[in-house]
Structure 1
Amino acid sequence: MKDVTQLTEGWNLRHEDALLPATVPGCVHTDLLAAGVIPDPFIGRNETEVAWVGRRAWSYVTELAHRSAHERTDLVFDGLDTAAEIILAGESVGRTRNMHRGYRFDVTGRTGALEVRFTSAYEEADRVRALTGERPNVYPEPFQYIRKMACSFGWDWGPTVVTAGMWRPVRLEHWSTARLDGVRPLVTVDGTTGRVELAVRVERTGSGAGRPLTLRATVGSATTGAVTEDAASGEVTSGEVTTGEVLATADVSFDGDEAVLRLDVPQPELWWPRGYGEQPLYGLDVTLLDEDGSPLDTWQRRIGFRTVEIDRSADEYGTGFTFVVNGVRVFARGVNWIPDDVLPSRVTPERYRTRLTQAAAANVDLVRIWGGGIYEDDAFYDVCDELGLMVWQDFLFACAAYPEEQPLRGEVEAEARDNVVRLMPHTSLVLWNGNNENLWGFRDWDWEQPLAGDSWGEGYYLGVLPRIVAELDPTRPYTAGSPWSGSWDHHPNDPRHGTHHSWEVWNRQDYAEYRADVPRFCAEFGWQAPPALATLRRALPGEELAPDSPGMLHHQKAEDGNGKLNRGIERHFDLPDKDFGRWHYLAQVVQARAVAAGIEHWRANWPVCAGTVVWQLNDCWPVSSWAAIDGDGRLKPLHHELRRVYADRLLSLVPDGEGPVLALDNQSGSPWRTTVTLRRFRADGTVIREEAFALEAAARTVVRLVLPAALLPAPGTSDEFLVADADGLRAVHFPVPDKEFAHPAARYDVRIEPGADGDSVDVVVTARTLVRDLLLQPDRLDPAASADQGLLTLLPGEEARIAVTGWTDVDVAVVREALFSVGAE
């Protein structure tokens, strides 16, 4: 049987004339931080102080000593960042130039000093650029010339922290006769039968050549194990893989390097996206046996049975883009995912679980892994499998023209093959996407003339990548890019065809303009806001915070980001003068309202619009950005708003023509029968008119109701508003911007009561006037505190109960300092 030795201990980083202790997996920055050589690049403006790290060569060294009775010993690197040479006992073992691949080198019988030398990513990029020629991109850094995490070089939400190191595990594998070199499970459903076709490749030693071997596969009964990490080895597992009853088993004998094995599982439970059903996962166990029946190698994963396709049919509205899972059409409630840390080796399985659980808590059912990051660790996809989060996986190309010449072309193909095979066992993976915005960029970002016919990546997106997916993983759909209209017959970002990115609104318009069109599938849109106040105070110690203070500007990477933030506020509110707390609150309000405006409108137009993917879920450091969860993991009000607008049942008042239309959006699997109460109010809380409507929305449908004129506030009125209530859900409509509305000075009573669970306290707010967009900022109570509510609109006499955890020094006066509303008290 194969033996594995993890090489996590005994590494050192060579720095100047000293050897510093190194952590593997890790990177140069984490080791220099641990040794006190560099300051934390996340704090203040330290990013500029550590820029030199990315422009130097680095070496990791250890002593490799091993003995084994096996015929073969391989040195295996799951991830090297990025251009490296491996030297053992003074001799070169091999070279690498791709962060996104694994590498294996035969070191049988070889011991001695082991050194991994990393060339600066800038030097490697310059070398490739000299071979291929210049290509345009949207940032001044050379990320398109090196197969490395593009956002290492900075983005409009991320710092420039150019890493190097062994960012994924390193190990020795000792084996004899043969080993499993690749297992591809093609999992499908045929009627009531689950089918598993295993395409297996083996590598043999010289003595194993031509030797009869047996491949045995078993599918065990459904289980839902948790993602865990072995503290000693760092190896990630997913709970019990094969438990309970054996549902199917099969053997095949072969004497070559490849074999195919097929299993039928009768009547499997289907895997569903969250909100549509359960997520049963079945243990799949593959064993390679020698001719005498002794095991040589094993491979274990969890699989699920489901079908997935994208309906791209033409219709009277254009060309659709609708996910269909197990025959059910799905409105995708998505978020975009970026690397959760600009130093990705720091992201643990536990951190993945926390972040993705936060996504599920916001009623998200799809996570798009954006193409400027990484193919995430298997632990990420394990959690998505368990939680029912569909995964849209970009191939790693973003916002640039990519050369198609060597040495990049061969690396791109090898990288794609490695990651398709690695990730395809994960049931949550529902789409392969060729790139982020490059097809759009070629058409609209003035690339064609400077390219003058040079390659720019089209051959990857329309040729290489769909060919690889069709060959290796035909069970999943592929799309050439996001956005992409399906062919060059339409503009790549035409909202009427395929996927659409909506950025004109944030860049130039009021968020009300989201309602100007109905894209078939909005794969990117968003609005910025600063992170939580406690996050800013940690990241900018000692700074007097202001929107334009030095640290705030450094942690704002978007072009004219603060200008766009301020203009977004000014369209609705008077811009606060020298009141950072008020500015911070209003920026959060506008972000939440903006995203809600888009989602409410587009959901109300289902099934023409079949999905929204908010930019973005998470951050990779403390920064003003479009994220719903900031760089310290704190929830912005946007996260709570996503939970509302992504819920199965959504009540909304959507502006449409002369006045708002009531929309009852039911994405649940059962009918929604309810009574909607509509009340027309004056600003002082007086009810002008009230009516109730009994409505029913069938499963997965939207009901729209044009309201009687008598219920509608007069257009342009500054002292009337409309409220709709049903089943604990609320929608409000104000006919003018807040700064033109006669908001009363917000008055409310506050008391604190013990929480129901004993580990929290309840902040109870009783409104004495209209209180619009009341927000308790829990980090103002304690940096560790969290609250279960975001923005709330209360009518006179109404009470809200906000559960707060992580706060023990209870004080009503402190609560009042942490409460904000549109009509300041």
Structure 2
Amino acid sequence: MKQILLNDLKWEVKGYWPWVPLKGTSMELGQELMGVTDWMPATVPGGVHYDLYRQGWISNPYEELNSLSCEWVENRWWVYRTTLKHPELKASRVELVFQGLDYEAAVYADNILLGEHKGMFEPAVFDVTDLLSERESLEISVLLKQAPDEMGQIGKTSATFTQKSRFNYKWDFSTRLVNVGIWDDVVLRVHRDCSWQDVSITTDADLGENDGQVSGRISIQASIKQMAGPEHTGRLTASITCSDPKGNPLLVQTYSVLAGEVVNTELEIPEPQLWYPNGYGEQPLYSLELKLMDEDDMELDTRSLQTGIRKLNYILNEGSPDNALPYTVVINGCKIYIKGVNMTPLDHLYGNVTVEQYQQMIHLMKAAHINLVRVWGGGIIEKKAFYDLCDVNGIMVWQEFIQSSSGIDNIPSKQPEFLELLRKTACTALYDKRNHVSLTVWSGGNELMSEPNKPSDLSDSNLAMLKGLVEQYDPQRLFLPTSASGPVEYITEAKGQGHDVHGYWKYMGNPYHYELYGSNDNLLHSEFGVDGLSSLKSLEKFLNEANQQPVSMENSAVWRHHGEWWDTLSREEEMFGSMNDLKQFSACSQWMQAEGIRFVLEANRRRKFRNSGSIVWQFNEPWPNVSCTNLVDYYGETKMAYHWVKQAFRPQHASLDYRSLLLTPGTRFHGNVFVHGVDGGKVKVDAEVLDATGRSLYRQTFEAEGDKDRAVCVGELNFSVPEPEDLLYFVRLSFRNIEEESQQNLYVFSTANQHLYAPALDLKGGNLQVWQESLWQPTGVGKISHQAHFTLHNTGSEVLLHVHAEEKGDRYWMEAEEQFLTLFPGEKRTVTVTCTPKLSGGFLAGENYCSTDGLPEIKFCSFLTAHGDTIPDEGEGIYE
């Protein structure tokens, strides 16, 4: 079989009122019924909104309230068309395949109906063999009906009737902007007499517990399907070639088979290179080539795949109740502590997402020591490129089927039409994704509940059906009925109830935030977050100048439209005092988001493996929000919380257990110090208490034996809080990891009873000097990125909080080795900055890098302060 990609054909699209394309001419007048729009150039894959925007039919729906004036788009019918030429290949059967039609379609060839299709995730496949044999070309038309009137976040799950992404219809991090279009690839599959079908690959390993000899197994099952013509009775030759991760052939197996048979074989791989999640080892991938030849040695079909070899198990947590599910993942005999994130679609109009956007997001995950991503059930089943990248980078995938809670009721739908669509989607996902070594968990959907605060279980016929499909098509993987999986939905102070829990999504206030999370006993925290504003750089892209000032969501329709649930103004005014401008509001809000999330991650990690991990809600956002629970904003800018998550997820880490940010002068502070991930041997942690001038008030050194499988308490930090009030105090933990690199973790406390962090607004004595130590150098795959090193020096008299780099333009995705670091007077730090040219799709394409664009321009900022504008490209450059 050969696959010919048809995305780059000349596609056009035109809008109509409903039913008009089927009628064509007026019954009364006999004249042509014209469309709502003219024929326009179309992007495939993509969606009609971007095509309309390019032709001036709509304003940018991501800005201000513009999306409200775009809601007519989902209520029209849309026709795509292109011309398909006869392939210059010998073929027994030719199939036209749409990998993703969104949502209900009729497909025509030269006005002949090929068939109808409903559903986003099951490919639409049409046999065009006979038609192409009669003609040199075909005009292909795809009629997409108006989008179904599905529910957004608020509604009744029991009334769900589609397999369309529900976040499109309004969620707390999105608006109502319902995609219509051809959202995934269009291909022509050219078959010879027989083809491979239903290829399934699983791997396993014998870790040599008995004889010390490690071996691997790759199990392959694939059927041979006759594609056309009279019954093929001749013998066929099936061969399977396995190559090692460097491309060297390891073995070849050959079989004599007949059409209709199933090849079921197992390849033994001695001394395999094992696949591990990010942070636990490497991700070597073995290549497989499945070739099918006829009796004349003519190639009929060849499939190429990659897989990793690993042993996968699931066990109960340490001290787990008997009625709990096995939440601890074990790979190659090693227990994996989950450092996870929840992922929404990368764009509201997901058809426009590019491979480069996937690459950037997965890169950011890997750089932040993340090892698992939960693909959320209210979104989409992602495109193939996403799962390929997870395989390569060691990001385990928790894949949910397309179901989600609705608030009014959260009971999985039992409507017959829905169950049939769900079954088709699930089977497609299972067939497609089971061959990815990164796939680790299947889940029935998001927050499905049989009654309030009680997650649904396998007594629900909907979820029992999905469980049966997983057992049939991918029995190696764990199936969880829903997330959270109970026995209660939301995190609770009650002991023994929080197995797999969700919540909360707000900073819970000082001291309750620390009391709740610091003493919790959940087994798995599969969704939680804290909200925070986007950066000023991003806010200025979608808010008009008149709306670029601090305001409550209650008092601004525009702000409410971009993040209604995530109003943090009162929180910031309680912690810092009055918010005077948007820059201040953003900086303070991002600080509180980072502080809140970091504490939860560290508190959970202190209970490793009684707690099996944390999955932060949410990594990204598909739409620009003023405020949201995301770590990376719509434009690809990382928030402060991303960098504190990165720090909390470091392989070796030191943390402080505290229960309040408020210090009372004249009393003593007590807080245990923990080390995480240190694999045996002595570890020494230095704890230092400093004031804002950098004066060291107290030091304490701890020593203990490390243990990679649990957090080790090395001792109690115990110091007397000084008498002066309304001051900030800093606790800095320092230690050297196994590579002898110095690592630090800083906590900021205050003695201010009112507006606890307000003293931070008065810090004005810091002064940042920056040297660019090197010219920009090409780096990375293909040498398309640019990298430079900068030395930062605080020459002032007070601490500089949250020092970070910012790329001044919009053409690069910027990543700094360290961000939002703290420099006390006299301290220096060298930071590496890498900038990668943007190559995004859809409404982000306007920021894409052009060959005429210059090198990146970097400025450095600290809390509320920008230090200088440009940095020279010469090593001797300096600015203050």
1:164 aligned onto 2:180:
yes
Q: Find the partner of 1:379 among 381, 385, 397.
A: 385
Instruction: Give the aligned partner of residue 281 of structure 1.
Output: 285
Q: Distance in 2 between the 1:146 and 1:731 partners?
A: 48
Q: Is the Cα–Cα contact under 8 Å of residues 177 and 207 in structure 1 kept in the other structure?
A: no
1:432 aligned onto 2:442:
yes
Write the deviation string for residues 547-582 of structure 1: whole angstroms up to 9, x where unpaired.
3385751453343x21xx124324432132x32211
Q: Distance in 2 between the 1:70 and 1:598 partners?
A: 59
Instruction: Give the aligned partner of residue 19 of structure 1.
Output: 39
1:40-189 pair list within 5 angstroms: 40-66=60-86, 69-110=90-131, 112-122=138-148, 125=150, 138-139=154-155, 144-189=160-205
DSSP 3-state at the match of 1:417: helix
Instruction: Give the aligned partner of residue 844 of structure 2.
Output: none
Instruction: Give the aligned partner of residue 200 of structure 1.
Output: 222
Q: Distance in 1 between the 2:581 and 2:601 partners?
A: 31
Q: CA distance change for structure 1 residues 394 and 3 in 2, over 3 Å: closer, same or farther? A: closer
Instruction: Give the aligned partner of residue 444 of structure 1.
Output: 452
Instruction: Give the aligned partner of residue 819 of structure 2.
Output: 790
Instruction: Give the aligned partner of residue 239 of structure 2.
Output: 216
Q: CA distance change for structure 1 residues 572 and 671 in 2, over 3 Å: closer, same or farther? A: farther
Q: Is the Cα–Cα contact under 8 Å of residues 631 and 641 in structure 2 kept in the other structure?
A: yes
Q: Find the partner of 1:366 among 368, 372, 381.
A: 372
Q: Is the Cα–Cα contact under 8 Å of residues 587 and 864 in structure 2 kept in the other structure?
A: no
Instruction: Give the aligned partner of residue 605 of structure 2.
Output: 603
Instruction: Letter of the 2:257 partner, please give it.
Output: S
Instruction: Give the aligned partner of residue 235 of structure 1.
Output: none
Q: CA distance change for structure 1 residues 2 and 633 in 2, over 3 Å: closer, same or farther? A: closer
RMSD: 3.4
Q: Distance in 2 between the 1:244 and 1:446 partners?
A: 52
Q: Is the Cα–Cα contact under 8 Å of residues 342 and 374 in structure 2 kept in the other structure?
A: yes
Instruction: Give the aligned partner of residue 650 of structure 1.
Output: 653
Instruction: Give the aligned partner of residue 616 of structure 1.
Output: 618
**1:252, distance to aligned residue in structure 2 (A):** 4.7
Write the deviation string for residues 414-451 of structure 1: whole angstroms up to 9, x where unpaired.
21111111111111111111111113xx3227999xxx
DSSP 3-state at the match of 2:362: helix
Instruction: Give the aligned partner of residue 32 of structure 2.
Output: none
**1:501, distance to aligned residue in structure 2 (A):** 0.7
Instruction: Give the aligned partner of residue 533 of structure 2.
Output: 530
Instruction: Give the aligned partner of residue 745 of structure 2.
Output: 730
Aligned length: 773
Q: Distance in 1 between the 2:617 and 2:451 partners?
A: 22
DSSP 3-state at the match of 2:180: coil
Instruction: Give the aligned partner of residue 672 of structure 2.
Output: 662
Write the deviation string for residues 687-722 of structure 1: whole angstroms up to 9, x where unpaired.
44323223331223311144264x253799755554
Q: CA distance change for structure 1 residues 791 and 447 in 2, over 3 Å: closer, same or farther? A: closer
After TM superposition, the structure 1 stretch with the greater mean CA deviation from structure 2, 265-274 or 57-66, is 57-66
Q: Distance in 1 between the 2:4 and 2:121 partners?
A: 22
After TM superposition, the structure 1 stretch with the greater mean CA deviation from structure 2, 35-44 or 349-358, is 35-44
DSSP 3-state at the match of 1:572: helix
After TM superposition, the structure 1 stretch with the greater mean CA deviation from structure 2, 145-154 or 94-103, is 145-154
Write the deviation string for residues 30-70 of structure 1: whole angstroms up to 9, x where unpaired.
22122222222112221111111011111112334426642
Q: Distance in 2 between the 1:291 and 1:70 partners?
A: 17
DSSP 3-state at the match of 2:102: coil
TM-score (norm 2): 0.81
Instruction: Give the aligned partner of residue 697 of structure 1.
Output: 706
Q: Distance in 1 between the 2:862 and 2:801 partners?
A: 19
Instruction: Letter of the 1:56 partner, please give it.
Output: R
Q: Distance in 1 between the 2:628 and 2:216 partners?
A: 44
Q: CA distance change for structure 1 residues 638 and 174 in 2, over 3 Å: closer, same or farther? A: same
**1:674, distance to aligned residue in structure 2 (A):** 3.3
**1:671, distance to aligned residue in structure 2 (A):** 2.9
State the identity as a percent: 24
Write the deviation string for residues 788-822 of structure 1: whole angstroms up to 9, x where unpaired.
433333434333445556787788999984269xx
**1:28, distance to aligned residue in structure 2 (A):** 1.1
**1:676, distance to aligned residue in structure 2 (A):** 2.1
Q: Distance in 2 between the 1:250 and 1:493 partners?
A: 54
DSSP 3-state at the match of 2:131: coil
Instruction: Give the aligned partner of residue 754 of structure 1.
Output: 772
Q: Is the Cα–Cα contact under 8 Å of residues 290 and 304 in structure 2 kept in the other structure?
A: yes
1:377-776 pair list within 5 angstroms: 377-400=383-406, 401-439=411-449, 442-444=450-452, 458-461=460-463, 463-485=464-486, 490-493=487-490, 496=496, 497-503=498-504, 505-506=506-507, 511-512=513-514, 513-548=516-551, 550=556, 553-559=559-565, 561-562=566-567, 565-576=568-579, 578-623=580-625, 624-655=627-658, 659-667=669-677, 670-671=679-680, 673-681=682-690, 685-707=694-716, 709=718, 711-713=719-721, 719=727, 722-727=731-736, 728=742, 729-732=744-747, 734=749, 736=751, 739-740=755-756, 745-756=763-774, 758=776, 760=788, 762=790, 764-766=792-794, 768-771=796-799, 773-776=801-804
Q: Distance in 2 between the 1:787 and 1:277 partners?
A: 24
DSSP 3-state at the match of 2:81: strand
Q: Is the Cα–Cα contact under 8 Å of residues 240 and 254 in structure 2 kept in the other structure?
A: yes
Q: CA distance change for structure 1 residues 610 and 770 in 2, over 3 Å: closer, same or farther? A: farther
TM-score (norm 1): 0.86
Q: Is the Cα–Cα contact under 8 Å of residues 660 and 707 in structure 1 kept in the other structure?
A: yes
Q: Is the Cα–Cα contact under 8 Å of residues 803 and 862 in structure 2 kept in the other structure?
A: no
After TM superposition, the structure 1 stretch with the greater mean CA deviation from structure 2, 26-35 or 322-331, is 26-35
Q: CA distance change for structure 1 residues 632 and 683 in 2, over 3 Å: closer, same or farther? A: closer
Q: CA distance change for structure 1 residues 379 and 289 in 2, over 3 Å: closer, same or farther? A: same
Instruction: Letter of the 1:306 partner, please give it.
Output: R
Unpaired runs of 5+ in structure 2? 16-34, 133-137, 208-213, 661-667, 737-741, 777-786, 836-854, 869-880
Q: Distance in 1 between the 2:345 and 2:522 partners?
A: 27
Instruction: Letter of the 1:51 partner, please give it.
Output: E
Q: Distance in 1 between the 2:285 and 2:655 partners?
A: 36
Q: Is the Cα–Cα contact under 8 Å of residues 413 and 462 in structure 2 kept in the other structure?
A: no
Q: CA distance change for structure 1 residues 609 and 445 in 2, over 3 Å: closer, same or farther? A: closer
After TM superposition, the structure 1 stretch with the greater mean CA deviation from structure 2, 541-550 or 646-655, is 541-550
Write the deviation string for residues 491-522 of structure 1: whole angstroms up to 9, x where unpaired.
34466453211226547885333324132111
Q: Distance in 2 between the 1:430 and 1:364 partners?
A: 14
Q: Is the Cα–Cα contact under 8 Å of residues 286 and 298 in structure 1 kept in the other structure?
A: yes
**1:757, distance to aligned residue in structure 2 (A):** 5.1
Instruction: Letter of the 1:8 partner, please give it.
Output: D
Q: Is the Cα–Cα contact under 8 Å of residues 662 and 706 in structure 1 kept in the other structure?
A: yes
Q: CA distance change for structure 1 residues 613 and 811 in 2, over 3 Å: closer, same or farther? A: closer
**1:339, distance to aligned residue in structure 2 (A):** 0.7
Q: Distance in 2 between the 1:136 and 1:36 partners?
A: 28
1:260-275 pair list within 5 angstroms: 260-275=264-279
Q: Distance in 2 between the 1:460 and 1:383 partners?
A: 31
Write the deviation string for residues 737-783 of structure 1: whole angstroms up to 9, x where unpaired.
68347667341122221234545463624164452633436256888
Q: CA distance change for structure 1 residues 544 and 8 in 2, over 3 Å: closer, same or farther? A: same
Q: Distance in 1 between the 2:178 and 2:225 partners?
A: 36
Q: CA distance change for structure 1 residues 672 and 772 in 2, over 3 Å: closer, same or farther? A: farther
After TM superposition, the structure 1 stretch with the greater mean CA deviation from structure 2, 359-368 or 537-546, is 537-546
Q: Is the Cα–Cα contact under 8 Å of residues 178 and 208 in structure 1 kept in the other structure?
A: no
Q: Distance in 2 between the 1:750 and 1:503 partners?
A: 37
**1:395, distance to aligned residue in structure 2 (A):** 1.3
